[in-house]
Amino acid sequence: MTTTAPRHRTTHDGTAHDRTAHRLARRAAVAVLAGAGLLAALAPSAAAAAPAAPVAPVAPAADRAALDAALRAVVEEGGSSAVLAEVRADGRTAWRGAAGVADLATGAPVPEDARFRIGSVTKTFAATVVLQLVGEHRIGLDDPVERHLPGLVPNGAAITVRQLLNHTSGIYNFTDDPRFATQGEEALDRWLTVGRWTTYRPVEVVRIATARPPYSAPGAAWHYSNTNYVLLGMIIEHVTGRGWDEEIERRIVRPLGLRGTSMPGTSPVVPGPHAHGYVERPSGGPADVTLQNPSAYGAAGAGISTTRDLARFNAALLDGRLLRPAELAAMKQQVATGQDITYGLGLSRYPTACGEFWGLSGGIAGYGTLVMGDAAGRRQVVVSINPYHLSEATGRTFQALVDTAACGSGGPTAG
């Protein structure tokens, strides 16, 4: 295998804004992407003391160089093969960049319009459909799971739709099961040769999870569980008579013109231009994991999209085009997680020195994504990375890029 030096391209279309320095608490969160499971830990930690100042609309011209440098550092210092990023303001691209290679073997540059696996950002799409159905009085947030999926979930009469959405159901996370493990050479080889090609039906995933004891009683504690969103996908199908992916296509993708967004079912392919995803083998060297059957993850994390599409989706969600005020307010109701961020109904809140941002992060083997936007839906930040050599620098450079894109002025200070 030959490795070509990373290449870097950017396009810009911006006007000036107030230069606002800000700081998000740093952690090497990207390291969790070594596993095949979907994890919620990619997003930058929120600085609890950061004031909620108004968000400036566009990155200033002087910040383009800082954004370009932060983008390159994710590849050159952070052990990622590729990174894509976009800042949108008032419905147009303020800055967009791509660095690195689409394929380590050929050295082909990653295109700015590349598609990528979005992992748990799929949850925000699914949650939006659920809340639209709430607004149509077809689902109640306090409906018990038993009402929509009778006999499927033990204690389903005590678990509500709201608890599925905000991860307080207590239901075991199926990706914690050993059959989905990728840590260690043996587990990774098993997943590479068998696991990533396996087709799972939603009911099979739920049975894997419910064969394990719950983490807690319903509503007693927060514990991230992809099983919650697999169940929500099943509820969408029960209520509408159509698959969760069809409802996302009908209610979100087509109306917003998200041409690069798809929910691939059992297909292992990333359609269109894309960067390969890699994980690092314990014995050394990256393993190409681009091809993988995402059927197990379903509404919890099977999606594929682009920076453009995710920015448009985030804007439409937060400016009220997709949800009524009551449902959007419910989506923003946060619960404590015992970590640095809070979690709502498929949406997290990130307070920064340049205002509150709302969005979600996602990780699936070879790919990591962060989407966030200001509360008015006027400014969005989207970052997709392909990390494979994970280190402290991975988290540091990713964090610096997010900081710079969110508030400009070169990101956080050292320390």
- For 288-305, write each residue's pLDDT tens digit: 999 999 999 999 999 999
| Residue bearing tokens 């087509």 | 254
Sign of the torsion angle spanned by Cα atoms 70, 73, 78, 80: positive
The pLDDT, as a whole number, for residue 26 is: 34
Q: What SS3 class is residue 205?
A: helix
**Residue 125 reports pLDDT greater than 80:** yes
Q: Among 95-104, 168-177, 300-309, 384-393, name the one with the lowest average pLDDT.
A: 384-393
Does pTM top 0.85 for this prediction?
yes
Q: Is the pLDDT of residue 351 over 80?
A: no
Centre a 10 Å sphere on the Cβ of residue 288 and count the other Cβ atoms it contains.
17
- Report the interhelical angle of 64-76 vs 392-407 (nearest 10°): 160
The residue among 395 and 366 whose pLDDT is bigger is: 366
Q: Write the pLDDT tens digit of every residue in 233-287.
A: 999 999 999 999 999 999 999 999 999 999 999 999 999 999 999 998 888 889 9
Residues found in the chain: 415
Residue 184 Rama label (left phi>0; alpha psi -120 to 50; beta): left
Structure tokens at 92: 């147009």
C-alpha span between 300 and 305 (Å, rounded): 15
At 88-117, the pLDDT tens digits run 998 999 999 999 999 999 999 999 999 999
Backbone angles phi, psi at 37, to 5 degrees: -70, 155
Q: How far apart are CA 45 and CA 354, in angstroms?
A: 15
Computed over its alpha carbons, how large is the radius of gyration of the chain? 20
HSE on the CB side for 176, CA within 13 Å? 15
Select from 19, 21, 38, 34 the least CA-distant residue to 302. 38
- Active-site position among 45, 80, 81, 120: 120
Three-state DSSP at 340 gives coil
Mean pLDDT of the chain: 85
Nearest residue to 333 (alpha-carbon basis) of 344, 322, 325, 341 = 344
In the chain, the N- to C-terminal Cα span, in Å, equals 37
Give the whole-angstrom CA distance, residue 49 versus residue 263: 38
Most distant CA pair in the chain, distance: 59
3-state DSSP assignment of residue 348: strand
User: What residue ranges define each of the domains in the chain, with the CATH number in brackets?
Assistant: 16-407 (3.40.710.10)
DSSP run (H or E) holding 80: strand 80-89
Q: What is the residue type of 170?
A: G
Q: Tell me, what DSSP letter sits at residue 213?
A: P
Q: What's 207's DSSP letter? A: H
Greater confidence, 16 or 101? 101
Residue 38 has pLDDT above 60, yes or no: no
- Work out the number of other CB atoms within 10 angstroms of the CB of residue 113: 17
120 is catalytic: yes
Q: With residue 361 as reference, give the H or E element that holds it.
A: strand 355-364
More confident residue, 306 or 405: 306
Helix (H, G, I), strand (E, B) or coil at 184: coil
